[in-house]
Amino acid sequence: MNIYIDADGCPVIKITEQIAKSHNIPCFIVCDLAHIYNSQYCRIIKVDIASDSADLILAGRIKSNDIVITQDYGLAAICIAKGARAVNQNGLIFSDSNIDSLLMLRHDGAKARRAGLKTKGPKKRTKTQDEDFIQALLSLL
């Protein structure tokens, strides 16, 4: 088992690194060249600055029983199809029972933005979201 972090814009890198280290699980931070991460434990994988470049690398590397930390519903769907497990930064564990509706929400949001509608960004991160993430990650381990 490996843990992969889709790191661009991920607020739980340090938390994930601490948990991976405490459980002696290999951890990989995947980010594009525009981001700088340092880690004493995780291996950092740099990818080109291009649309979905980190997602494509992750999709090619993940195996059954790996865990992927991602906000991307499309990548989460690939993880599920490959027998890996995916969780977002707020503790939502992606599964067969929720991925279709999440992908539909993503599609509807993209359609609305193409039509010129404004969509709201994320709210300020809370300590509860960190705690929910920790519990979800530990449950996957």
Q: Residue 116: how many CA atoms within 13 Å on its side-chain side?
A: 0
Amino acid at 108: D
Where in the chain are the domains?
3-140
Q: Which amino acid is at 102?
A: L
Q: How far is C-alpha 56 from the geometric centre of its chain's CA atoms?
A: 13
Helical H segments across the chain, by residue range: 13-22, 53-61, 73-81, 99-114, 127-140
Q: How many CA atoms lie within 13 A of 61 on its CB side?
A: 20
Instruction: Encode the chain (141 residues) as per-residue pLDDT tens digits.
Output: 999 999 988 999 999 999 999 999 999 999 999 888 889 999 999 999 887 889 999 999 999 999 999 999 999 999 999 999 999 999 999 999 988 778 888 777 777 778 888 877 778 899 999 999 999 999 999
- As a whole number of angstroms, the distance between CA 12 and CA 89 comes to 6
Q: How many whole angstroms separate alpha carbon 118 and alpha carbon 132? A: 29
Q: At 60, is the secondary structure helix, strand, or coil?
A: helix
- CATH topology assigned to domain 3-140: Rossmann fold (3.40.50)
What are residue 27's DSSP bridge partners? 3
DSSP string, 84-121: -EEE-TTSPEE-TTTHHHHHHHHHHHHHHHHTT-----
